[in-house]
Structure 1
């Protein structure tokens, strides 16, 4: 009598589980997971053994519906594996292959246990493909979500590191900007600058845009927001690093910064020193002036 595909699969895993596990581990060893050194063989064996056992239990509980409640424990195990591999730097192919590589040893086991009955074999293969494909998709969804989370966190950290506020002198700060200035980064820039103004009790903040590739109306608006916020905190702003090409572009676009601007950071620093009642002189000239 023909058996249901799920029943065939459960019986196959129960009768030939050791051989299936050995074949699965052999397939995983041939992949790049172990060769990359990101995971130890003992850990890989533990993961494979746990997944195969949970798969057998889930098949008996919810059949071939990998989205069912009976698969909750297995899905969580695969999610943990996917998240850890996303943090360890595994490729999407390596992660998906963890589940998909189980197909071959399961297929071979089905041939051994039910190959004489073509109907049972076909139904078992169908159930195997349906379940493993669903589990593989779940694995990849968790992996990609984890990767996006990691990339987003790294992007935020890079944005914070790429907007340092430098103390040039007592009461004078410099904020060198590198790269494109968008809305998200403007928030980080503004927060860092305002906090530095408070901490240093700064009077002047120099915003250097030498490393900003282009300045259009949107970038200019972001700069003006930063300048306005700094003024509310009691600090005047000077924009430096406007190159000839950027100046021409701003003129053609009709962009007006409405703030003191200088070509170089050195020029802006000189202006800041004058505004704070300081000046820089050569040492020899200073000694000569004292002798008079």
Structure 2
């Protein structure tokens, strides 16, 4: 037996590493992730102070360094939890879940400042330098052998690599949310409900009418009918390049919903090519009044509600 240094590690046969304890006191489990967890907990303040000066923290918490240090503390604690669980390569580990809201806030700030997703990932990856230095130093002071230190470095690299993956997932989730909101805004803008006259509403459609847009249009139109107490709703398809069976079905469903609300639906903007296509496909628009132009549809609507149609 030597004078207190760990003896040559042996394997218990289950894939983990064991190190023989000095003075014949037996053996204990000792792997890289556990050593990383020890380093993070025992040197929490040291690492937090170094990370507070790194770009992800310094660029976000510009109001004061204390806020940056506090955020770094939370990240260190979360990573210590992950390492302690031995799940350094698992993005679903509880510690990562705890830090996702903080990452989302930080990365959103950096994104607003113009940082790209690639830059954000690189900035998170840069945190590994301070962590690796700390882990190496901790391993050397703990008196472990080279194998223990190597395992700890590998675990630390896995930990930061997974943190980067979690950060990128957070960025993508945020971007997906932004895209979804923008898509909804575009749909709302692209399907406006216009009040042409007291009791007369119109929806000028431009472009392709798909299921999502059809639903937005129908919901907005029905709400408008209730709010305006409209008697006539005009669907103007002058700007729709093509009417096929699917588009016709969307229009029919909207017209049916309008009738159920007690209003009359008028379809306008039927060009000769559209009329020929509808006839060739055998599409039945029965139950929907049709007019060739929006002006004709409005004139009919005014007569229907008892208003003078004008010249």
TM range (shorter): 0.7 to 0.9
Match of 1:177, SS state, is strand
Distance 2:105 2:239 in 1: 37
1:28 is matched with which residue? 55
Match of 1:126, SS state, is helix
2:255 is matched with which residue? 227
Stretches of structure 2 lacking an aligned partner (at least 5 in a row): 1-5, 10-29
Q: Give 1:8-157 correspondences, 5 Å limit.
A: 8-10=35-37, 12-13=39-40, 20-21=47-48, 23-28=50-55, 34=59, 39-41=60-62, 42=64, 43-59=67-83, 61-65=84-88, 72=94, 74-84=95-105, 90=111, 91-97=116-122, 99-112=124-137, 114=139, 118-157=146-185
- Work out the number of aligned pairs and report it: 273
Match of 1:207, SS state, is strand
TM-superposed deviation, 1:190: 1.9
Higher relative contact order (CA 8 A, sep 6+): 1
Match of 2:183, SS state, is helix
TM-superposed deviation, 1:220: 0.7
Distance 2:294 2:208 in 1: 19
Call closer, same or farther: CA 1:248–1:117 in 2, change over 3 Å: farther
Match of 2:192, SS state, is coil
Contact residue 82 and residue 140 of structure 1 kept, 8 A? no
TM-score (norm 1): 0.74
Call closer, same or farther: CA 1:242–1:57 in 2, change over 3 Å: same
Query: Does residue 274 of the first structure (1) align with residue 298 of the second (2)?
Result: no
TM-score (norm 2): 0.70
Kindly report the root-mean-square deviation, in angstroms, between the aligned alpha carbons of the 2 structures: 3.6
Contact residue 33 and residue 86 of structure 2 kept, 8 A? yes
Distance 2:110 2:239 in 1: 31
